[in-house]
Amino acid sequence: MSDLAASSAQLPELPEAIDASTLQTLSEAELETLAGSLHAALRAVTAAVAPYEAQMREIRSRQAELSTERRRRERAAQVQQRASVRQQAKSGEMPSVVDALGDPADLFPPSTPLREINAFLATGGEVGFGFATRPGTLAFTDGRQQRQATTWGEARELHRLGWDPGTPGIPGVRVHLIGTRVERVVASSEVVVQPG
């Protein structure tokens, strides 16, 4: 016997179906009897389904508990990562963007796209360079002009020429929070990079 046949065999029986033309010929008492048998069948089906509904509620509750635990772990990992970034920023393991640009030892190959460099706010949040809609750029200015760098080598060259991160009148580094459209300009000393 198939699973479908087995499950059908366990269902309460339904009263025999009556077509509309036959219903028109039934007396009021017969209609009342038919309504009573349908109501009894509905109660029997409801009672038969109740354990399955209870089990489905239990499964959903357990799934919700698992989701809550996963979110708790994700939050704990984010808190730990932010604390680690803050510690590395304080110790100098993660230099600020401006320090990294001026460091004689190149932290990244010159051809490295800026979008591939792991950057963080000194407070711990992970960020990307540039606008959220156009990531991977770093603006530099000489006070009057503005140029965009898209690779580490271009950024280092502009910094070597005396250009500062920012745009005319707005110093700093434009960053966006990873995974969001939230963006802002922060002081270049407040953005740190992860070497390698």
Residue 38 CA from chain centroid, whole number: 49
Predicted pLDDT of residue 141: 94
Q: Classify the C-alpha dihedral 194-119-87-170 as positive or negative.
A: positive
Predicted pLDDT of residue 92: 67
Predicted pLDDT of residue 59: 95
Pick the residue with more confidence: 82 or 175? 175
Predicted pLDDT of residue 85: 67
Given pLDDT bands bounded at 50, 70 and 90, which one contains residue 6?
Answer: very low
Single out the residue in 56, 89, 122 at which a domain terminates.
Answer: 89
Predicted pLDDT of residue 1: 41
- What's the CA gap between 135 and 177, in Å, rounded? 11
Mean pLDDT of the chain: 86
Q: Looking at the 3D structure of the chain, how many domains does it have?
A: 2
Decide if 3 is inside a domain: no
Indicate whether 140 pLDDT > 90.
yes
Single out the residue in 89, 122, 153 at which a domain terminates.
Answer: 89
Task: Write the burial class of residue 177 (CB in 10 Å: 0-12 exposed, 13-18 middle, 19+ buried).
Answer: middle
Single out the residue in 89, 114, 142 at which a domain terminates.
Answer: 89
- What's the CA gap between 127 and 112, in Å, rounded? 17
* Mean predicted confidence (pLDDT) in 109-115: 93
Of residues 120, 113, 60, the one with CA closest to residue 90: 120
